[in-house]
Amino acid sequence: MSILLLTSVSSKEEAMWSSKLRSALPEEDIVILPELNNKAEIDIAIVANPPREVLHTLSNLKWIQSLWAGVDALLVDPTLPENVPLVRLIDPTLSAAMAEATATHVLALHRDLPRYALQQQRQEWWQHELLRSSDRTIGILGLGEMGVASARQLRALGFNVRGWSRSQKNIEGVECYAGQDNLSEFLVGLDMLVNLLPLTPETVGILSENLFSQLPKGAGLINFGRGGHQVESDVLAALDSGQLSHAVLDVFSQEPLPANNPLWRHPHITLLPHVAAPTNPGTAVDIVAGNIANYRKTGQISKQVERSVGY
């Protein structure tokens, strides 16, 4: 049997992935779409933004491995075959990168960097009160691979940390809340809110006026989850009214963000081009190769996405 590497990334990037995968799995036959002659020979697909209308034509496909952590875009593809297990990328290197990004931007807001940047533009010399990290409470939406690593990093920096998930967690040093019924209690008194949820039918649009109104006035927002989590007009309105003091946005409903989108020019937005935690090809290939080697040896497929809940 063979493995199909199916992507819509640039041909240079696809060549990089196929070269690394072939080196890590020398005994496997790995093909890309233009080389695919016999569809029935494919039993595993490795995907990164795969073009639609291909996966469902692979009659002997046993499972799909995503090269990304988030699988929301795959799950909304109506041509995704229904009963084929889907494995997403779980990589400690990715979680560490996200924890670093969270710490970077929480510290930036904690130390008032956006405010001092605006002051510099106006040549204004105003010193603002410096709080201790232990005076701040940071809330993290999502306590999965990304959320837990970020929570631990923020604890190590001395912040008070809360987290919110679907099922109840017990994480040392982190106040854990679970479920829709406890979301309001989780939000009370937060200085900053960091979104690390997957995009699902339950979480779409969660960063809305209703949620912002439950935060203290002047809270900071960091969205590293997906663009579909934020209602853009509500983010802009909350920034304009001062309900939010600043927003760090890494993800957008449309990427790249169109040039005419007002988010680009808002003085209280730090805008990033989806770079919080990019997949590291070196470590990702090791993990994917490990999943495939284990499947060939034992027939076991690694932890699968729960399609009914969307992550």
Residues at the interface with ligand OXD (CB under 6 A): 68-70, 278-279
CB of 179 to ligand NDP, least distance (A): 7
193-212 residues near ligand NDP, rule: CB under 6 A: 196-200, 202-203
Q: Is 65 among the residues that bind ligand NDP (CB under 6 A)?
A: no
228 binds, among ligand NDP, ligand OXD, none (CB under 5 to 8 A by kind): none
Q: Is 66 among the residues that bind ligand NDP (CB under 6 A)?
A: no
Catalytic residue (choose from 110, 136, 226, 246): 226
Active site residue 226: yes
Q: Is 276 among the residues that bind ligand NDP (CB under 6 A)?
A: yes
Q: Which residue among 5, 190, 277, 288 contacts ligand NDP (CB under 6 A)? A: 277
For residue 186, CA distances in Å to 21, 40, 58 come to 43, 50, 45
197 binds, among ligand NDP, ligand OXD, none (CB under 5 to 8 A by kind): ligand NDP
Instruction: Work out whether strand 29-32 and strand 2-7 pair parallel, antiparallel, or are unpaired.
Output: parallel
152 binds, among ligand OXD, ligand NDP, none (CB under 5 to 8 A by kind): none
Q: Which residue among 45, 74, 138, 146 contacts ligand NDP (CB under 6 A)? A: 146
| Of 19 and 49, CB closest to ligand NDP | 49
CB of 195 to ligand OXD, least distance (A): 12
CB of 264 to ligand NDP, least distance (A): 18
- Taking each helix axis as running N to C, give the angle between helix 281-298 and helix 11-24, from 0 to 180 degrees, rounded to the nearest 10: 50
Task: Using the rule CB under 6 A, give the single segment among 9-17, 48-56, 139-147, 295-303 that binds ligand NDP.
Answer: 139-147
Measured CA to CA, the distance from residue 295 to residue 281 in angstroms comes to 21
Active site residue ranges: 226, 274
Residues near ligand NDP (CB under 6 A) are: 69-70, 142-147, 164-167, 196-200, 202-203, 224-226, 250-251, 274, 276-277, 311
